[in-house]
Amino acid sequence: MDIGMMLNYSGGFRETAAEVGELEKAGVDIVIVPEAYSFDAVSQLGYLAAVTEKIKLASGILQIYTRTPSLTAMTAAGLDFVSDGRFVLGIGASGPQVIEGFHGVPYDAPLRRTREIIDICRMVWRRDRVEYDGRSYQIPLPAEKGTGLGKPLKLINHPVRERIPIVVAALGPASVKQTAEIADAWMPMFFHPERARDVWGDSLDAGLAKRSDDLGSLDVFASPALYIGDDADAVLPSVKPQIALYVGGMGARGKNFYNDLVSQYGFEKEAALIQDLYLEGRKDEATAAVPDDLARAINLIGSPGHVKERVAAFAEAGVTTLAVTPLARTSEQRVGLMTGFRALVD
């Protein structure tokens, strides 16, 4: 199993680069740079590529609405070039709050857009002339929608790889099915090893049945928080604010993917309570309402023996990469935690 680490998207580039250099020495396989509504992920990924040699670098995630498909492909090819073939393209739909609230772009047809973007990216990386007649994207733009002067073009540069790995962040049944069919890897959030199959099993099976042999097996990225120590009970509450934020605040009632997921895990009453409290502005109470059992199941928090057992559970559930968020305040502590984690996984 590969191990990785989610980076802080709001930190300083130089400080992060120094830390990633130490993580590389510690045997960490991959680092993932999120993109929310702070600095873009691409700037930091390019900076990291210049100061590292072996560690893989992933976007986690580039939002599908914020770049054209061709620009996404160009960006991925550029990052793969500057990293000597170490880049992994993570993409996802994000949600209406960020896409419409920050970017001012309609949040529409995420499934269709994802499929068409992947098609176009692979076309660009093969250096095909880009001619694509999709429902969301038409390249070149038809005359009735533009000037009619656009002609099919192909990428000038020769990419390091014509098949850059694509990881798709997906939660809903249709999205997970499509991801299993067309992507190189799947990145769910709040992965519960013992209940993931109940939620996503049918979707994964349906997608894998249509998957091309050329794609190989589907990698699965999980992103738990990590803490190794005997004072786990004292640390566990620190992961609950994020769970409460997503389950309670990332979407309106009936339109919150994370709330639906936790409900499907068997915490329906708790998910409803967390959302009610959060949307009423009672965030501390919403955080307190997050069940210990949920927080423990989707994270790696406990003694070395417990964490090792949970790693085995994630592996048994099909996870191939654990891209963790270390619960540590300093760079030295994070590197130490990841070094210990590497030893546990090995």
- Domain limits, the chain: 2-230+301-345, 231-300
Task: Give the 3-state secondary structure of residue 144.
Answer: helix
Place of tokens 């000037």: 147
What are the structure tokens assigned to 219, written together? Answer: 């990698």
Q: What pLDDT, on a 0 to 100 scale, did the predictor assign at position 97?
A: 80
Q: How far is CA 125 from the centre of its chain?
A: 22
Pairing of strands 225-228, 138-139: unpaired
Name the strand (E) or helix (H) holding 73: helix 69-82
- Weakly modelled stretches of the chain, pLDDT under 50: none
Q: What pLDDT, on a 0 to 100 scale, did the predictor assign at position 10?
A: 63
Q: What pLDDT, on a 0 to 100 scale, did the predictor assign at position 76?
A: 98
Q: How far is CA 105 from the centre of its chain?
A: 21
CATH for the stretch 2-230+301-345: 3.20.20.30
Other beta carbons within 10 angstroms of residue 272's beta carbon come to 17
Cα(113)–Cα(189) distance, rounded to whole angstroms?
A: 20
Q: What pLDDT, on a 0 to 100 scale, did the predictor assign at position 11?
A: 67
Q: What pLDDT, on a 0 to 100 scale, did the predictor assign at position 9?
A: 64
SS3 of the chain: helix, strand, coil, percent, to 5: 50, 15, 35
What are the structure tokens assigned to 247, written together? Answer: 């389950």
Burial annotation 229-239 (CB, 10 A radius, 16+ → b, else e): eeebeebbeeb
Q: What pLDDT, on a 0 to 100 scale, did the predictor assign at position 8?
A: 80
Place of tokens 């349906």: 206
Q: How far is CA 217 from the centre of its chain?
A: 18
Q: What pLDDT, on a 0 to 100 scale, did the predictor assign at position 242?
A: 96
In 3D space, the residue among 32, 144, 10, 19 whose CA is nearest the CA of residue 79 turns out to be 32
